[in-house]
Amino acid sequence: MRILLAEDDKQLNSALVYRLEEEGFIVDSCQDGEEALFYGEQNIYDIILLDRMLPHMEGSDVLSALRKKDITTPVILITALGSLSDKVEGLDLGADDYLVKPFAFEELLARIRCVTRRPRTLTENDMLTVDDITWHPAECTLTGPSGSCTLSKRESALLETFLRSKGQTLPRTTLLLKVWGPDSDVEEGNLDNYIHFLRRRLQITGSKLKILTIRGIGYSLQ
């Protein structure tokens, strides 16, 4: 799961990035509103953690701008403004949740789980099951009819992207942004290599799922 963290307190920003990455999330971080809007507009994140008081552009304005562009990524506003009117205003702007500083990291994790919950695909153990395979994010393990295998962190991010978009054609640019991030200078050939790795993983597990090449566009899990 890829998270965008927009927090201008450098110490808190660094601490949250460290803790979130320890939990297995992929985190892109920034410290001002204009950067947050730019990253958010890429529409590659599973959730955005957005400080309300950011330099250059307030978090509430970033949120409004994203919603006007029909970007529906779940957003948790993180702020020291904790009055009832502040919370109501933030939720009315389109936030999915509102977390007041200071907060316990465990509460942040619980709220992330809450706003990103997908009842049709996630089990009580946070496993993702699609057709004949089950993905275990915590262990980076893929299980199918013929057995299991362990994936690298990059393979895991790419696989999860496909599993959450089964049947959809995913453009190459979307996959590169989603898995490597907007600041990466990764070459497109690397994507092809990882597609090859994932196809082998699916074969090893005996899955009937296939990653198809959609010529001139990208790939699709069918």
Q: What is the pLDDT of residues 74-112, one digit of tens each?
A: 999 888 876 777 777 778 778 888 888 888 999 999 888
Q: Is pLDDT of 56 > 60?
A: yes
Peptide bond preceding 102: is omega within 30 degrees of 0, i.e. cis? yes
- pLDDT tier for residue 121 given thresholds of 50, 70 and 90: very low
3-state helix, strand, coil in the chain (%, to 5): 40, 25, 35
Report yes or no: 158 and 179 within 8 Å, Cβ to Cβ. yes
Whole-number Å distance between alpha carbons of 146 and 37: 44
CA distance 115 to 66: 17
Looking at residue 183, what is its pLDDT? 67
Mean pLDDT confidence for 45-72: 89
Strands 97-100 and 128-130: unpaired
pLDDT score at 82: 67
For the segment 183-196, the average pLDDT, to the nearest whole number, is: 79
Looking at residue 123, what is its pLDDT? 40
Strands 97-100 and 75-79, by their bridges, are: parallel
Q: What mean pLDDT comes out for the span 183-188?
A: 69
- Quick check: helix, strand or coil at residue 60? helix
Average pLDDT, the chain: 85
126: pLDDT confidence band, cut at 50, 70 and 90?
low
pLDDT of residue 170: 86
Q: Is the pLDDT of residue 69 over 90?
A: no
Of 72, 117, 71, 67, the closest CA to residue 93 belongs to: 67
Percent of the chain topping pLDDT 70: 93
Which residue in this structure is represented by tokens 């699916």? 202
- Measured in residues, the chain has a length of 222
Give the orientation angle of helix 105-115 with respect to helix 10-22, to 10 degrees: 60
